[in-house]
Amino acid sequence: MDFQVSEEMSVRLAMIREFMDREVIPLEGEMLHGDPDTLAAGVAAAQEKVKQMGLWAPNHPVEFGGLGLSMVDHGLFAEAVGRSPLGMTVFGTQAPDAGNIEILHKWGTPEQKERWMRPLIEGEIRSCFSMTEPETAGSNPTLLATTAVRDGDEYVINGQKWFTSSADGAAFAIVMAVTDPQAPPHQRASMIIVPTDTPGFNLVRNVSVMGHTGSGHASHAEVIYQSCRVPVSNLLGPEGSGFLIAQDRLGPGRVHHCMRWLGIADRALEMMCRRANQRVIAEDGSTLADRQVIQHWAAELDAEIRGARLQTLHAAWMIDEYGTKTARDEISAIKFEVANTMLRAVDRAIQVHGALGVTDDTILSYWYRHERAARIYDGADEVHKTSLGRRVLRRFATETTG
């Protein structure tokens, strides 16, 4: 394994970190307390600067303007921009657009790529991914209830989705729906592109998450498909390949998430240590940093973050070298390990900040609200642990039964 970063990538990462500190993190105040239109203008200005730097959408295909990053390089990029909730958007790599671009590039027709993928990469439109349903288990997509019935040259889609992230203002959705209920479980569903202005695409509401409804990209919508008709040409890949495409999308996406979470964890640790050094707690001038419990927290978090980073880079390297299927154990492990590392870092930082930590005067409470879902989406902790645990135990089954 060689995680050596090229000189070119090292320069890019240095530019990104400096830009994040100078241009992006200062926008967080507007995000937490200001006017959405003012924030949007600030983000747009930062995006133009990123494009001028030649760093826009670096993870996307080279033929569409990307930098052709390896999975390891993309992971390092995601960590650098993950230090702020605005980072991915400013650099044009935000979810769910990034994942939709990946599957459009692999599975889309030339016409689909030109109509949907190119403007998505260029930042002219946004998209959403519509798979999760309120009445079926998100951990098992073979149970989907939404249907897409063929009627001549059209699919008629009916069903209810929710946590369709970023549907508010999106130009199109990629919806996963059952096209053949009689097929084997993993071949029943398909992915279909649905423009959001199609009659029958009904955005019911932005779901309130821990008291915050959100808007635009930063939202999670409930969507009802009601006799929603789209051309059969909007099918993404072969009919019945929805589960396969979803796995294609989720594997690398988990590495992106994990490295972004490491960016959060790193900044939370940094904030915790700065606060501990500054907070005087006694007349003799001693600070929180002089307390052994805080020293232990700093040491433990530093070690956990180092370990989680190496584990994630190893998973990324495995994908680069052997593909997503071979790396499934590594992907499962980082999904629950890194999410919990990140959440512990945020929790410890809040504790050290005291009352300030639960206010919106810092970014910590935002992360506490919005990143708790990291242990749920793209596979709950328990699902990944069960899946990985079974495979680990199976390796030794022949020794005990043979």
Place 377 in a pLDDT band, splitting at 50, 70 and 90: confident
Q: What is the pTM of this model?
A: 0.92
User: For the chain, what percent of residues have pLDDT higher than 70?
Assistant: 99
Do 113 and 131 belong to one domain? no
Please answer whether residues 171 and 183 qualify as being in contact, where contact means their C-beta atoms are separated by less than 8 angstroms: no
> What's the N-to-C CA distance of the chain in angstroms?
34
Inside any domain, residue 2: no
CA–centroid distance for 123 within its chain: 17
Do 87 and 231 belong to one domain? no
- Give the model confidence (pLDDT) of 310-358 as tens digits: 999 999 999 999 988 899 999 999 999 999 999 999 999 999 999 999 9
Choose one of 63, 88, 121: the last residue of a domain: 121
Whole-angstrom Cα distance, residue 279 to residue 297? Answer: 16
What's the rounded mean pLDDT across residues 133-150? 91
Say yes or no to pLDDT of 191 above 90.
yes
Please enumerate in sequence order all residues whose Cβ is within 8 A of that of 341, keeping only pairs 6 or more positions apart, or say none. Answer: 261, 262, 265, 304, 305, 308
- Give the model confidence (pLDDT) of 79-137 as tens digits: 999 999 999 999 999 999 999 998 999 999 999 999 999 999 999 999 999 999 999 98
For residue 231, what is the domain's CATH number? 2.40.110.10
Residue 48's pLDDT is: 96
Inside any domain, residue 69: yes
Do 284 and 343 belong to one domain? yes
* Neighbour count for residue 199 (Cβ, 10 Å): 9
Number of domains in the chain: 3
Whole-angstrom Cα distance, residue 77 to residue 16? Answer: 8
For residue 34, what is the domain's CATH number? 1.10.540.10
Do 88 and 72 belong to one domain? yes
Single-letter amino acid, residue 63: E
Inside any domain, residue 11: yes
SS3 content of the chain, % helix, strand, coil (to 5): 55, 15, 30
Alpha helices in 279-396 (DSSP H): 292-322, 328-353, 364-370, 381-395
Do 255 and 355 belong to one domain? yes
Inside any domain, residue 168: yes
Inside any domain, residue 1: no
Please answer whether residues 352 and 301 qualify as being in contact, where contact means their C-beta atoms are separated by less than 8 angstroms: no
Residue-range definition of the domain harbouring residue 44? 7-121
Do 361 and 248 belong to one domain? yes
Choose one of 96, 121, 146: the last residue of a domain: 121
